[in-house]
């Protein structure tokens, strides 16, 4: 890597800091004006985020939590349900200070409680997403997107929200965790390509 390119990359990374001052969010690659931000507990949504990045490029950002959810599924379900009822927005250690440089922001999440997960509500609330193109993508246990896209539209103000991608992922309730491998992974790759073509984000 040339020195100038290295400096440019470090600069891009340094624009992402945590509120505690420690570096950095997990940016895998710094390129273009696309940000792919995702929340993932059992890595299905993460796999989809990585497939999108492979097709399109862009910066990949895992949404981390100041206080992670319990490992226990049932306890997590109860906590999420409570947060949804009270409108509690969990604290995120990460803020993307240079959000202005991105035109297109992919928002990836699992369906939780038939809603947008509270941490993603926090992310959308904490960032100025006016006049962006927002592209939702989702994995779920077979029950679909719930109210998540309506919530994204509400929280991203005047941004244009494109047609979401959704695919069946894990079923943690039944002990089925990561499924994006083998034939399922291939199907997902084909489905993502078709979706991005339809959105005219790739040619
Ligand atoms: C707290 C919690 C709540 C969930 N609620 C739903 C739901 O309401 N509907 C649904 O289809 N799947 C639900 N799921 C299943 C996840 O959406 C599904 O397993 C998804 O693929 C997980 O993505 P991940 O591997 O990226 O974490 C829930 C999972 C968790 C952990």
Does the residue 48 lie in any domain?
A: yes
ipTM over 0.95: yes
Which of 68, 111, 144, 184 gets mutated to test ligand 1 (max ligand atoms within 8 A of its CB)? 111
Integer Cα distance of 38 and 61 in angstroms: 6
Does the residue 18 lie in any domain?
A: yes
Integer Cα distance of 164 and 151 in angstroms: 13
Whether the predicted pLDDT of 6 surpasses 80: no
| pLDDT range class, residue 30, cuts 50, 70, 90 | low
Does the residue 203 lie in any domain?
A: no
Helices (H), 15-72: 44-56
The whole domain housing 44 covers 3-198
Does the residue 54 lie in any domain?
A: yes
In DSSP terms, which residues pair with 106 in a beta bridge?
Answer: 36, 135
Whether the predicted pLDDT of 17 surpasses 80: no
Does the residue 50 lie in any domain?
A: yes
Does the residue 178 lie in any domain?
A: yes
Does the residue 137 lie in any domain?
A: yes
Q: Report pLDDT digits (tens) over 46-67.
A: 999 999 999 999 999 999 999 9
Q: Which of 82, 147, 73 is nearest to 116 (CA)?
A: 147
Which of 83, 141, 145 gets mutated to test ligand 1 (max ligand atoms within 8 A of its CB)? 141
Q: Is the CB of 133 under 6 A from ligand 1?
A: no
Does the residue 75 lie in any domain?
A: yes
Ramachandran angles phi, psi of 30, nearest 5°: -115, 110
Task: Pick the more confident residue, 157 or 10.
Answer: 157
Report how many domains make up the chain: 1
Integer Cα distance of 120 and 124 in angstroms: 6
- Is 0.90 topped by the overall pTM? no
Residue 9 CB burial class (10 angstroms; 0-12, 13-18, ≥19): middle
Q: Report pLDDT digits (tens) over 86-110.
A: 999 999 998 998 999 999 999 999 9
- Residue 122's domain is classified under what CATH number? 3.40.50.360
């Amino acid at each position: 890597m040339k020195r100038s390119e290295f400096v440019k990359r470090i600069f891009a990374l340094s624009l992402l800091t945590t509120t505690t001052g420690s570096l950095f969010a997990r940016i895998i690659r710094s390129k273009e004006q696309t940000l792919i931000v995702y929340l993932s507990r059992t890595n299905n949504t993460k796999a989809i985020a990585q497939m999108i990045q492979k097709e399109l490029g862009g910066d990949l950002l895992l949404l981390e939590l100041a206080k992670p959810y319990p490992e226990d599924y049932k306890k997590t379900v109860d906590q999420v349900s409570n947060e949804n009822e009270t409108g509690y927005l969990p604290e995120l250690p990460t803020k993307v200070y240079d959000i202005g440089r991105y035109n297109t922001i992919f928002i990836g999440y699992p369906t939780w409680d038939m809603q947008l997960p509270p941490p993603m509500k926090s992310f959308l609330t904490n960032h100025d997403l006016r006049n962006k193109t927002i592209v939702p993508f989702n994995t779920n246990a077979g029950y679909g997107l719930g109210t998540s896209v309506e919530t994204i539209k509400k929280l991203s103000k005047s941004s244009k929200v494109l047609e979401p991608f959704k695919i069946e992922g894990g079923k943690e309730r039944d002990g089925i965790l990561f499924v994006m491998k083998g034939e399922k992974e291939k199907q997902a790759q084909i489905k993502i390509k078709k979706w991005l073509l339809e959105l005219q984000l790739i040619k």
